[in-house]
Chain A
Amino acid sequence: MLVYIVRRLFAAVILLLIVTAATFLIFFVLPRLGGATVDDLASRYVGKSGSVEDIHAIAVKLGFTDPIWVQYGRFVGALFVGADYSTGPTTVHCPAPCLGYSFINQNPVLPDLLDRLPVTLSLAAGAAVLWLVGGVSVGVLSALRRGSVFDRAAMGVALAGVSLPIFFTGLLSLAIFSYWLGITAPGGSFTPFEENPLLWAYDLLLPWITLAFLYAAGYARLTRAGMLDTMGEDYIRTARAKGLPERTVVVKHGLRSALTPILTIFGLDLGLLLGGAILTESTYSLPGIGKYSVDAIVSNDLPKVLGVVLLGSIFIVLANLVVDLLYAVIDPRVRLG
């Protein structure tokens, strides 16, 4: 087991390096291949009134005039040993692991990301609990009452959940519940958990529900399909024939088997979300990693984008590792080694 984990972690590091190299290529090399000069790249970071000389000076300052492998080497080097950046009169040190230094805000990216991580974590964790409990429960009940009014209604709502985009459900729910009825917090509200857990939950309730609505729909449909398959298996009939209570048959034998694909998807979904719930955070103006990355993309602040990609990749890799380990727990047929 330990060897397996170490091997997976080592592979993860290699994967992350490949991800950073690919991202780097997309942002710094592809535009050059498309005919952009270093000054064209730099002109995005010069104000409206920049002269040709100003633009070139900025290109030099941002390191765009260096060969691309030097730039990438500098980025990777900063990850391990940190880097120094000039602020004009002084120099600031970005300690390792330095994920980069914002072109626009002129500050290291990692503290920014760590500052925003609690928002994204809070949003993703709360929503995940809701959609997992809600989606799986509805899916199980639908499978057990296949064809019933409940089944049809639940699957209809699930279809709506999958179909409606968050910027629609989000803005609509804000307009109704926050601004019209006044029972939930207005957009942009966030209280750190350690400051006031109740207010934390109150502020995030609407984003949680909106986000969970989208995911729960898919999970309900997936669970229903899995349960329908499993409940038709021979061993279920055997379990029933042995006289096991129906609850044990459904939960211990049926659901456990149906959960494996759910867990796979859950790992991926959660990992992706931790890299930023872009639409939800933008709709509710929550200062999380998703909103951070959108703002970075809008302002062309490439080091920030690179930082988010790296952090998101780490979450996805870790989430997949955890899922693989959990397989062994859920499904006795899986052995790691």
Chain B
Amino acid sequence: MRSRRKVVVGALSAVAALVLAACGGGNVASSGGSGGGGGGGAADANGVHNPSTEKGGTLRFANSGDWDSLDPADTYYAYSWDFIRLYGRSLVMFKSAPGKDGATLVPDLAESLGKSSDNAKTWTYTLRKGVKFEDGTPVTSKDVKYAVERSLDKTTFPNGPTYFNDFLDLQGYTTPYEDPSPDKLGLKAIETPDDQTIVFKLKSPFSGFDYFAQLPSTIPVPAAKDTGSKYKEHVVSTGPYMFDTNELGKSFTLKRNPNWDPATDPNRPALPDRYEVTLNVNADDVDNRLQSGDLDVSIEGTGVQPAAQGKILADPALKANTDSAVVARLWYTAINGDVAPLDNIECRKAVLYAVDKTGYQRAYGGATGGDIATNLLPPVIPGAQSFDTYATPNNQGDLDKAKQALQACGQPNGFKTSISYRAERPKEKATAESLQQSLARAGIQADLKPYPLADYLKLYAGKPDFAKSNGLGLMVYGWGADWPDGYGFLAQIVDSRVIRATGGNSNLSVKDPAVDALLDKALTTTDTAAREQIWVDIDKKVMDDAYVLPGIWAKGLLYRPTNLTNVFITDGFQMYDYVALGTTRK
């Protein structure tokens, strides 16, 4: 029993390094949106705008920043994982389909989803026959193994996720670049008994391994063509498109891959002939160009900037070309039980009752910025349920209940505390100010304490002794999942065992052994429905504990030029599905 617990704790601790989600950033793995259709514009019954099978034309994308990397081993943005499916095929992928269907996994390079054995510690995939690299070389299971092996090398590929590092039974293996075996395939945790079969062996059971298999790290890489950190200059394609030109930091283009065989690929319509992607484009200019027809897609999928949002929402013709995307992201405030008097649950409840959540919503731009959240799990996550443990009239706070809670807490006249937020984020500043105002109504006086974004978790709010000694009772924060799944969303923000004294924590406040036990139970529960119910149970327990003040379930306003065809938002990435898009502009 003890050893089993150690394994589970070990697995969960390892997850600390995974960063399943995006540290509350705006442009991280869970950026765009889902849900669709909020803004208007006619879509067909399935939620698809301009359905079409017509091929040809060029799709023009722009990115307001730089790509972290085009290398499948080194990328950690949702838009990148969405886009990479155009030039790479992982073992499984999120189905190219609108809404909830888009969050289901379907086989891609593999013939079927993974087959588990040994209590979900061993996972086997069989590759489709006939899949080739862009140079015509057949893809084998060894190319997939090599791709995963190289993704383990975090000094060469520092940006990518570390799921395989943490869950595979590596036995000390670090990188194929220092692998003495002649074929560089010395990792024992992955076996390739033949060219079509690949077997993954894990340290501990993980019932959701198919989510790992959809990671770009499983996109095959031919060892002979691997140039390490330079490979991103020309990734060898297995998808319908291959690199034509690539100027790092500036732009790249994709053209059709003559060795992609649609007969081996039921997932990609491959409509356009060409993709042009420009990087580091002024964000406001991206919005202008979308509206003027000089651009087709803002690739980050996080929605238009505030300047364009005002203009678009005021113009019905423009508004008709928008989609309101619901994101697997929660903007919330952690209530720190280490700081007196918030160590008393009644005082925490007083905060939850006193807050005017409409102010929280206004800080994020009103209804366009997101829906008022009443619990943790965003509705876009499968199995999520909305409930409101601390309901107040019109979400504007209930001062009577707040005062009753304060009475029960032994602080009938209120108390003093501090609210921290990330200084560079105007929305978090507005949130903190709004909280300050609404809490003052109940007699809770709060100082505002801004800290630098880059070190917010490492040195300040995410460092328990700092937060305690500086009296950070309320810490404004946000969290998004790598993929729409309860595990991906919750593990890093509610498991008390991932909290490190050295800082860098994303769980800022939840410390409940009962929640930890529920997480352990979920990891070994293979039945999907039962597992999803456990995520809801955890959500309810955390709300009962009053450790989290949920603020906003984030939304983004996506603009869709009229020449785009087959446009829909997928719940897999919560933005437009880039595999499906086509264009009428030739």
Given contacts A61-B155, A291-B280, contact A49 B161 (CB under 8 A): yes
Determine the residue in chain A with the shortest Cβ distance to B14: A51
- Give the size range of B's interface with the partner: 35 or more
Contact segment of B194-202, B288-296, B358-366, B513-521: B288-296
Q: Which residues of B contact A57 (CB under 8 A)?
A: 154-155
13 A-B Cβ contacts within 8 A?
A47-B158, A48-B23, A49-B160, A54-B154, A88-B226, A88-B228, A89-B177, A105-B249, A112-B249, A186-B292, A188-B289, A285-B278, A292-B249
One digit per residue, 1 when the CB lies within 8 angstroms of any chain A CB and 0 when it does not, for chain B 55-75 equals: 000000010011010000010
CA distance A86 to B175 in the complex (A): 14
Contact of B160 with A187 in the complex, beta carbons under 8 Å: no
The docked-state distance in angstroms from the alpha carbon of A86 to that of B228 is 9
Residues of chain B from 235 to 284 with CB closer than 8 A to chain A in the complex: 247-251, 278, 280-282, 284
Q: In the complex the two chains form, is B292's CB within 8 Å of A178's CB?
A: yes
Query: For residue A186, which residues in chain B have a CB less than 8 angstroms away from its CB?
Result: 285, 288-289, 292, 294
B528 within 8 A of A: no
* A186-B294, A187-B288 known; A47-B281 Cβ under 8 A: no
- Closest A residue, CB atoms, query B160: A47
B437 interface residue per 8 A CB criterion: no
Of all A-B residue pairs in the complex, the 4 with the closest CB atoms, nearest first, are A88-B228, A87-B228, A47-B159, A106-B229
* Residue in contact with B154 in the complex, picked from A50, A86, A90, A287, CB distance below 8 Å: A50
Q: Does any Cβ of B come within 8 Å of A179's Cβ?
A: yes
Query: Given A47, A88, A285, which contacts B285 in the complex, CB threshold below 8 Å?
Result: A285
In Å, the complex CA distance between A61 and B156 comes to 9
Q: A49-B161, A87-B156 are in contact. Are A188 and B285 (CB under 8 A)?
A: yes
Bound CA–CA A168/B197 (angstroms) = 59
Query: Known: A47-B159, A186-B294. Contact between A87 and B282, CB under 8 A?
Result: no
Interface residue range, chain A: 35 or more
Report the separation of the CA atoms of residues A285 and B76 in the bound assembly, to the nearest whole angstrom.
Answer: 24
How many Å lie between the Cα of A178 and that of B247 in the bound state? 26
A326 within 8 A of B: no
Q: What is the CA–CA distance of A122 and B177 in the complex, to the nearest angstrom? A: 43
Whole-angstrom distance from the CB of A316 to the nearest CB of chain B? 25
A105 and B176 CA atoms in complex are apart in Å by 21
Query: B281 near A54 (CB under 8 angstroms)?
Result: no
Enumerate B431-479 residues with CB–CB distance to A below 8 Å: 454, 458
- How far, in angstroms, from A219 to B248 measured CA to CA in the complex? 38
A182 nearest in chain B by CB position: B292
B583 within 8 A of A: no
- B230: CB under 8 A from chain A? yes
Query: Please, what's the 1-or-0 string for B296-311, where 1 marks a CB less than 8 Å from any CB in chain A?
Result: 0000000000000000
Tell me whether A287 and B288 are in contact (CB under 8 A). no
* Mask: chain A, 77-120; 1 = CB below 8 Å from B; 0 = not: 00000000011111010000000000011110000100100000
B285–A187 touching, CB < 8 Å: yes
Q: How far is the CA of A46 from the CA of B278 in the complex (A)?
A: 25
Interface string of A120-135 (1 = CB under 8 A from B): 0000000000000000
Docked pose: A298 CA to B279 CA in angstroms: 14
Q: Does B281 contact A187, Cβ atoms closer than 8 Å?
A: yes
Is A171 interfacial (CB-CB < 8 Å)? yes
CA A287 to CA B232, docked complex, whole Å: 20
With A47-B68, A106-B230, A179-B288 known as contacts, the answer to whether A283 contacts B282 (CB < 8 A) is yes
Indicate if the CB atoms of A88 and B282 lie closer than 8 Å: no
A229 sits at the interface (CB 8 A): no
Asked if A66 is at the interface (CB within 8 A of a chain B CB), the reply is: no
| Residues A50 and B285 in contact in the complex (CB < 8 Å), given A61-B155, A88-B175 | no
Q: How far is the CA of A90 from the CA of B231 in the complex (A)?
A: 11
Which one of A43, A49, A115, A292 lies within 8 Å of B18 (CB-CB)?
A: A49
Pairwise interchain contact B155-A54, C-beta atoms closer than 8 A: yes
When distances are taken between beta carbons in the complex, the residues of chain B under 8 Å from A115 are: 247
Pick from A47, A48, A287 the residue with the most CB of B within 10 Å. Answer: A48
Q: CA A92 – CA B230 in complex, angstroms?
A: 9
| B430 interface residue (CB < 8 Å to A) | no
Could you tell me the distance between the alpha carbons of A106 and B227 in the complex, rounded to whole angstroms?
11
6 more A-B residue pairs beyond the given contacts A48-B22, A89-B176, A112-B248, with a C-beta to C-beta distance below 8 A: A47-B76, A88-B226, A106-B230, A171-B284, A284-B282, A285-B282
Nearest opposing residue in chain B for A119, CB measure: B250
In the bound complex, residues from chain A placing their C-beta under 8 Å from that of B509 are none
B153 is contacted by which of A88, A171, A282, A295 (Cβ under 8 Å)?
A88
Asked if B294 and A295 make an inter-chain contact with CB atoms under 8 angstroms apart, the answer reads: no
- A174 CA to B294 CA, complexed, in Å: 13
Known contacts A106-B230, A186-B292, A292-B249, A48 near B19 by CB under 8 Å: yes
In the complex the two chains form, what is the Cα distance from A188 to B226 in whole Å? 32
Residue numbers in B under 8 Å from A54 (CB-CB): 17, 154-155, 158, 162
In the complex the two chains form, what is the Cα distance from A113 to B102 in whole Å?
Answer: 42
What distance in Å separates the Cβ of A279 from its nearest Cβ neighbour in chain B? 11
Chain B residue nearest in CB terms to A92: B230
B164-186 CB mask vs A (1 if < 8 Å, else 0) is: 00000000000111000000000
Which among B76, B153, B158 has the greatest number of chain A C-beta atoms within 10 A? B158
Cα of A107 to Cα of B248 in the assembled complex, Å: 9
Cβ contact within 8 Å between A295 and B249: yes
- How far in angstroms is the closest Cβ of chain B from A291? 6
Interface residues of A in 9-53 (CB under 8 A from B): 43-51
- Expressed in whole angstroms, the Cα–Cα distance for A50 and B247 within the complex equals 27
A89/B18 contact (C-beta < 8 A), A47-B76, A54-B154 known: no
Residue of B nearest to A112 (CB): B249
- Docked Cα-Cα span, A58 to B159, in Å, equals 12
Residues of A within 8 A of B187 (CB): none
With beta carbons under 8 angstroms apart, the residue of A282, A283, A295 that contacts B66 is A295
Whether a CB of chain A sits under 8 angstroms from the CB of B150 is yes
Interface assignment of A175: CB less than 8 Å from any CB of chain B? yes
Are A174 and B154 also in contact (CB < 8 A) when A48-B28, A87-B227, A87-B228 are?
no
Which residues of B sit under 8 angstroms from A86, Cβ to Cβ?
Answer: 228
Smallest CB-CB separation from B247: which chain A residue? A115
Q: Which residue of A has the minimal Cβ distance to B21? A: A48
- When distances are taken between beta carbons in the complex, the residues of chain A under 8 Å from B159 are 47-48
**A91 (CB) vs chain B CBs: closest residue:** B228
Complex: A33 Cα to B154 Cα, angstroms? 28
Q: Which residues of A contact B284 (CB under 8 A)?
A: 171
Map CB proximity to A onto B367-385 as digits: 1 under 8 Å, 0 otherwise.
0000000000000000000
Give B16's nearest chain A residue, CB to CB. A51
A-side contacts of B156, CB under 8 Å:
87-88
